[in-house]
Structure 1
Amino acid sequence: MAMKTTLHRNVPFPFAAEAFAGLQALKLGIAMDFPSVTIMGDSRTIIKKCQAMKNDKSVIGAIIKDIHSKMTSFEYISFQFINRTENAFAHKIAEEALKKEEETYLVRESDDFPEGRWRRDPD
C-alpha cells in the first residue's frame, strides 16, 4: 500500500483537485511498478468518470483523458467510491501537507489501513 501527497498550485476548483488526486495515484502505481491498483475516492462523479471509458467533455476532461491513458499500464485497475466519513484519514494527511507545505511519500507492506507503521522511501 502506498500514499503520496502532492501540492498543486492554482487548481481552479475542488472538483479538479479530486481528479488530479486520481491521476497522481496512477502515476505513483506506475512508478512503483504495481501490476494492479485500487484507487479510492470520495467524489462519486470523479470515480464514475474514471470508470467510464468515454470521452469526457467537462472542464476536467483533459485530466480524465490522462487517467484513461495511464490505465493501460496495469493488469488490473479498480476505481472505488468511499464515503467522506471513511476517507477521513486521507483528508487529515492532506490538511497536514497543506499546513507544512511539503509533499510526503509513504509505503506500507500490509493491507490493514490506516493503523500500522509506514516507512518513508527515499526520493
Structure 2
Amino acid sequence: MAACTYPHMRVADAFMAEAMACEQAVTFAIELGCRSVQVEGDSLSVIKKLVSAAPDKSILSPIIRDISSKKGFFESLTFSFVGRCGNGAAHALCKEGLHHNNPRYWMEEAPKVVVQAAGKDLGS
C-alpha cells in the first residue's frame, strides 16, 4: 500500500480537483514502478472523459491529455467510477492532505484514518 497527498491551491471546481487527483495518482504509480493500475473516482464526468476515445474539449483537456499520454508506462491502466459511499479512503486522504503544505508520501502504510476508511469502503 502506498498513499500520497499533493496540495493544490486555487482549484477552479470539483471536476478540476478530481481530474488533478487522477493525474497525480497516475504519476505516483509511474514513480512507484507499478505496471497495472486501476484508478477509481467519484466524478462520473471525469471518468467518462478518461475512458473516452474522443478528444476532450473541456477546460480539463490538458489534464486528460497528460493522463492519456502516460498510458504507455503501464501494461494495464483502467479508470472506473465508484460512488462516494465507496470512496471514503480517498476523501479521508484528501482531508489529511489539507493539514500539510507540501506533498506527503506514505509507503507500506497510510494514515490511520485512511486505513479505517478503506476498511469501511470494503464493507460497503
Q: Provide TM-score, normalisation by structure 1.
A: 0.82
Q: Secondary structure at the match of 2:18?
A: helix
Instruction: Supply the AA of the counterpart residue of 2:14.
Output: P
The CA distance in 2 between the partners of 1:19 and 1:90, in whole Å, is: 13
Question: Hey, what does 1:24 align to over in structure 2?
Answer: 24
Question: Hey, what does 2:88 align to over in structure 1?
Answer: 88
Q: Unpaired runs of 5+ in structure 1?
A: 116-123
Q: Secondary structure at the match of 1:80?
A: strand
Identity %: 38
Over the aligned positions, Cα root-mean-square deviation in angstroms equals 1.8
Residues 1-123 of structure 1: matches in 2 within 5 Å? 1-108=1-108, 114=115
Q: Provide TM-score, normalisation by structure 2.
A: 0.81
Instruction: Supply the AA of the counterpart residue of 1:53.
Output: A
Q: CA deviation at 1:17?
A: 0.7
Instruction: Supply the AA of the counterpart residue of 2:44.
Output: R
Question: Hey, what does 2:121 align to over in structure 1?
Answer: none
The CA distance in 1 between the partners of 2:67 and 2:52, in whole Å, is: 11
Query: For the Cα contact (< 8 Å) 1:4–1:104, is it kept in 2?
Result: yes
Q: CA deviation at 1:2?
A: 2.4
Query: For the Cα contact (< 8 Å) 1:53–1:68, is it kept in 2?
Result: no
Q: Unpaired runs of 5+ in structure 2?
A: 117-124
Q: Deviations over 1:46-82 (max 9, x none)?
A: 1111111221001111110111101111011111111
Q: Secondary structure at the match of 1:12?
A: coil
Q: CA deviation at 1:31?
A: 0.6
* Large movers: runs of 4+ above 6 Å: none
The CA distance in 2 between the partners of 1:42 and 1:49, in whole Å, is: 13
More helix by share: 2
The CA distance in 2 between the partners of 1:71 and 1:63, in whole Å, is: 13
Q: CA deviation at 1:4?
A: 1.1
Q: Secondary structure at the match of 2:87?
A: helix
Count residues with an aligned counterpart.
Answer: 112
